[in-house]
Structure 1
Amino acid sequence: MVAGTVVGMTQRKPAGVGFETWVERQIREAQDKGEFDDLPGAGKPLAGLSEPHDELWWVKDKVRREEGTMLPPTLQLRKEAAEARAAAGAAGTEDEVRRILGEINARITEAIRKPLSGPPLNMMPFDVEHVVREWRLSRS
């Protein structure tokens, strides 16, 4: 919400004023102040209006926007480990390879020490020296 709108909505409803009237007045005053101008998506049609009705549309949209962060922690860590391994392979320097692997290895080690929820992690930290050797070979 817009800052000015939040303040108005935290005020108590005056006695003797109907709830609907009170809310409508706050909305009208906010509109008059321009607090709804330039909101994201203003003037654009609502997405999905032409699609068949789906009660879970908002859940599916959130999962799509979050790009998998709804995964159980162990599966999310596996995904991040694969991304880190790919980033290490594309790194520009050996120090960068070591830094990337050091960060993900610390997270993997912590997850082994204090298990996360979800399916078994079934991972060990990356062998940094092995990955560095592969990185060097790919550069020669």
Structure 2
Amino acid sequence: MSFESWVEHQIVQARERGDLEGLSGAGKPLPRRDREKSTYEWALEWARREEADVAAMLPTGLALRKEREELPARVARQPTEELARAVVEAHVARVDRYYRQPVEGPWIPVGMPDVQEMVAQWRLDRPPALPAPELPVPSPRRRRWLRRRAA
């Protein structure tokens, strides 16, 4: 049995079972695709239409570069120095893993951020901590004793 006759046979069986009944878009022509669009442009259009994350489609090197560009803003949003340091160190670990693994496709240099420099910038961006207001020290109270005069 040839491939074309096998496909036709599968379609006939599906029609007999009713699998092709009530499908959305039934009786409508297929949407036309522009032949000028590259595969990448078509994939981007599909991802936007399906509300998918376009950044997830990037190769690892480009995704890490994009993350590196957004790193200063992510670090600045962290409430404590420990969290800011953890965000940068996690990024450094991902870049290190990318550099050590075999690369499929073109190798893209990402660059390694300096953890100490990023944390120092986080400290500079923070407003200085205001000293705690000093509470007035109560002065010792003088007790006035009424002196009774002997009459």
Q: TM tier, shorter chain? A: 0.5 to 0.7
Q: Helix, strand or coil: the match of 1:54?
A: coil
Corresponding residue for residue 100 of structure 1:
87
Gaps of 5+ in 1: 1-17, 37-41
Amino acid corresponding to residue 62 of structure 1 in structure 2: A
Q: Give distance in 2, aligned partners of 1:132 and 1:58.
A: 41
TM-score (norm 2): 0.53
Q: Give distance in 1, aligned partners of 2:19 and 2:99.
A: 56
Q: Does 1:121 align with 2:109?
A: yes
Corresponding residue for residue 41 of structure 2:
60
Q: Does 1:87 align with 2:74?
A: yes
How far off is 1:135 after superposition? 0.8
Q: Give distance in 1, aligned partners of 2:65 and 2:38.
A: 27
Gaps of 5+ in 2: 1-8, 48-52, 128-151
Q: Helix, strand or coil: the match of 1:118?
A: coil
Corresponding residue for residue 24 of structure 1:
15
Q: Which structure features the higher share of helix residues?
A: 1
Q: Helix, strand or coil: the match of 1:92?
A: coil
Q: Does 1:73 align with 2:60?
A: yes
TM-score (norm 1): 0.56
Q: Aligned Cα RMSD in Å?
A: 3.3
Amino acid corresponding to residue 126 of structure 2 in structure 1: R
Kept in 2, the 8 Å contact 1:75–1:118? The answer is no
Q: Give distance in 2, aligned partners of 1:115 and 1:85.
A: 28
Determine what percentage of the aligned residue pairs are the same residue: 25
Q: Give distance in 2, aligned partners of 1:102 and 1:60.
A: 34
